Structure 1
Amino acid sequence: MAPIAARLEPVSGVLKTAAPSFSQAQAEALARDRFGIDAEARPLTSERDQNFHLKTQQGAEFVLKIANASEAPGVVAFQNAVMRHIENVDPAVPAPRVVPALDGAFQTMEQEHIVRILTWRAGRLMHQVERTPLLRQSLGRVHARMSGALRSCAAEPPPSDLLWNLQSAAQLRPLLSHVDAPGRTAALTSVLDRFESEASVWLEHAPAQVIHNDLNPHNVVVDEEGKVSGVIDFGDMVRAPVICDVAVAAAYHVRHDDAPMADVRQYVDAYCEAFPLNREELSLLPVLVALRLAMTVLITNWRASLYPENRAYILRNEPHAWRGLAAMMHSELRT
């Protein structure tokens, strides 16, 4: 067997590079000197970048984003272009707005890092609130509206080896070595096998568009009424069939009981009201949801082994992913 380093060769460079480590004072200086925003900075959690919440004395709020040193300028420019497209096509979509720097550019450089500022979306993150039918229905409608806005987006993502792309599932097999429980390894292998036999060819030929690709509970903001008030973190966007985007979002609503897809249906039904999915797409949804859950287990365990000091944050979604995947597989065995 090849050494682990060789078997991990195809994985993303950004995921293997440590996050930036700017101080609060440095963040405040960047906001003031480059963007003309005099604000207090507060660190926010992030896996591969570094983010700060900015708040001015007048109460205006922003996010200062400092990109991973391995992030290509074209990747950030693509994200900015997509958010600006959403703002122009459908401003009602609650996505962040890109704030220009003093020189008019939408991103600037500090050392080897790309720096930019986005508007703040007020509310609590979805992982901090109760998941109600109202919230799932709201998420479905907001997501569908975003899909509609992105349907006309001509921006092309730069070449990327992003592992969080359902279409790149073949790259995940080397990561099975980081799961030390034989039963789990067998289950994860079966998910990858099923994807390759039932969905991979269809995805290669299906119409594609820009998708968010990461509507996890840490990237959805919820207001006091329990409705979605923001969709944030456009760092994992790809061009892919929209069913991939639906599957990613749905994976975080899988229940851990005998009806694992019951809550998923509330979200999907609301999504389809505004952005209908066809029968073939819906038939592939369970396969793709299971794949996303498997990806979460595999990638986060691998990442945690690389950066044990950030283990708790990296593995925050792993327990839910494994329990959801186990419930889905048990349900299929029963039926």
Structure 2
Amino acid sequence: MPLREGRSSVAAECNELGEAQWSAWARSRDYFETASNGLALLPDTFELDLPLERHYGLSGSLTALSSEVESTFEANIADGSRLILKTCSRPQALESFRFQSATLADLNGAVGVLAPKVIPTLSGALMFEEHGVGGYLQTRIDGVPLHEVPRTPSMLYDVGVALARINLALASIEAPASRRPVLWNIACWPRLVELEPYLPEGPTADRVRLAMARYMEFVAPHLTTLNWQITHNDPSPFNMILTGDGVAFIDFGDGGWSPRVQDLAIAAGHFVTEAETPLGGAEYVIAGYASLICLSDAEIKLLVGLIRARHSALVLINNWRARLFPADAPYILKNVVRAEQGLSILAGLDESESEAAVRSAMALDRP
């Protein structure tokens, strides 16, 4: 894929555009290439000079954690507490930090929502910036990552309820840089066909092509009828933590302006694993979500198409990145097998069968 430099200033301004202007910009090649550039790089490898004391008045040590673009560290503070530090020197990452820190700050105190809390700097700012490097510090969520928790109908229902709660809270938030170019944003889906050469030939490649063709025919023309707002945009089992108080959400780095139901499509898609049911076992995620948010007719009709398109995007983007960074391929491809499985399970549903399956799932009671 051709990548071009020098678009960060344009990307930073996109949050100031009106709805019609942003929609046109999001459909453009410039948006897609700017978003692609953000994932065509590995995290910074610069030497940290421990910004904890200078910006936060804290002393401690930093341990690097896995991350796609931004550099993420566990901060082990001298008093025994543990925090999470995110930092980077790239303009796109700094825009993402502005979005993440502001969103987390606004979510603080939202009823029923569990998410990290931002630690203000000594000056009271949500993030620090100096000499081209920026970042922010947040609390660490203690619990068990959802991908390590046995999947039961009641757990999946609780995931749906927690996701609905955070979507309701996010609906009232207006964060900076929410419309920055992000390759995981649905605005990029029509151009992801350019990544098809990176797919290994076989049944998965065929299913991806079919799913994206069906998305363009049956889903994309109706996106304007959906409710748009700020969303998490990556509520995967790796970004959800089961705590003693319920399901918490971490890593808002892909978040931004999207159809609200996209979060449900992404979360439900991660649990399409059982061929015995029409929606592969994701029924109770949908039921839990629908217990708090009544899905519109359009959302019901488009949900399965959105799930298949997200599965396809995950396969396309991660195969492309794995080719760019072969040494990091195991980490990059960690969710691809699950997406391939989901595509296989949902491939046989036509549009009327998909709608009927979603309506049946919505009628389920908490197990």
TM value normalised by structure 1: 0.89
Matched, 1:105 2:130: no
Alignment CA distance shift 1:140-1:190 (3 Å): same
Matched, 1:62 2:59: no
Query: CA contact under 8 A between 1:156 and 1:239: conserved in structure 2?
Result: no
Query: Match for 2:197: what amino acid?
Result: S
Q: Within 1, Cα distance between the matches of 2:118 and 2:128?
A: 12
Aligned to 2:284: 266
Aligned to 1:50: 71
Aligned to 1:319: 337
Aligned to 1:277: 295
Could you say what secondary structure the match of 2:291 adopts?
Answer: helix
C-alpha RMSD over aligned residues: 2.4
Query: Match for 2:85: what amino acid?
Result: L
Q: Within 2, Cα distance between the matches of 1:216 and 1:205?
A: 25
Q: What per-residue deviation string (whole Å, max 9, x for no partner) do you get for residues 158-216 of structure 1?
A: 54331211232112010001013144333211111111111112113433111111001
Could you say what secondary structure the match of 1:274 adopts?
Answer: coil
Aligned to 2:226: 206
Matched, 1:132 2:152: yes
Deviation, structure 1 residue 58? 3.0
* Match 1:5 to one of 2, 6, 13: 2
Within 5 Å, give how 1:62-211 maps onto structure 2: 62-67=83-88, 69-71=90-92, 73-88=94-109, 90-109=110-129, 111-155=131-175, 157-211=177-231
Query: CA contact under 8 A between 2:60 and 2:76: conserved in structure 1?
Result: yes
Query: Match for 1:323: what amino acid?
Result: Q
Query: Match for 1:318: what amino acid?
Result: V
Q: Within 2, Cα distance between the matches of 1:181 and 1:231?
A: 35
Deviation, structure 1 residue 265? 1.3
* Match 1:239 to one of 257, 261, 274: 257
Deviation, structure 1 residue 120? 0.8
Q: What per-residue deviation string (whole Å, max 9, x for no partner) do you get for residues 36-65 of structure 1?
A: 222232221111111111232433221011
Matched, 1:295 2:313: yes
Aligned to 1:328: 346
Alignment CA distance shift 1:282-1:169 (3 Å): same
Deviation, structure 1 residue 154? 2.5
Alignment CA distance shift 1:159-1:239 (3 Å): closer
* Match 1:217 to one of 231, 237, 251: 237
Query: Match for 1:21: what amino acid?
Result: T
Could you say what secondary structure the match of 1:181 adopts?
Answer: coil
Query: CA contact under 8 A between 2:226 and 2:299: conserved in structure 1?
Result: no
Query: Match for 2:81: what amino acid?
Result: A
Aligned to 2:361: none
Query: Which piece of structure 1 moves more, 153-162 or 110-119?
Result: 153-162
Q: Within 2, Cα distance between the matches of 1:156 and 1:106?
A: 12
Alignment CA distance shift 1:141-1:328 (3 Å): same
Identity over the aligned pairs, expressed in percent? 27
Aligned residues: 325
Segments of structure 2 that go 5 or more residues without pairing to the other structure are: 4-28, 354-367
Deviation, structure 1 residue 217? 1.4
Q: Within 1, Cα distance between the matches of 2:227 and 2:148?
A: 35
Q: Within 1, Cα distance between the matches of 2:307 and 2:89?
A: 28
Q: Within 2, Cα distance between the matches of 1:64 and 1:72?
A: 13
Query: CA contact under 8 A between 1:51 and 1:63: conserved in structure 2?
Result: yes
Deviation, structure 1 residue 332? 5.4
Q: Within 1, Cα distance between the matches of 2:143 and 2:60?
A: 20
Query: CA contact under 8 A between 1:14 and 1:70: conserved in structure 2?
Result: no
Matched, 1:30 2:51: yes
Q: Within 1, Cα distance between the matches of 2:196 and 2:189?
A: 12
Q: Within 1, Cα distance between the matches of 2:121 and 2:77?
A: 16
Aligned to 1:16: 40
TM value normalised by structure 2: 0.82
Segments of structure 1 that go 5 or more residues without pairing to the other structure are: none
Q: Within 2, Cα distance between the matches of 1:303 and 1:314?
A: 7
Alignment CA distance shift 1:148-1:119 (3 Å): same
Deviation, structure 1 residue 81? 1.7
Alignment CA distance shift 1:111-1:133 (3 Å): farther
Query: Which piece of structure 1 moves more, 117-126 or 33-42?
Result: 33-42
Deviation, structure 1 residue 325? 0.6
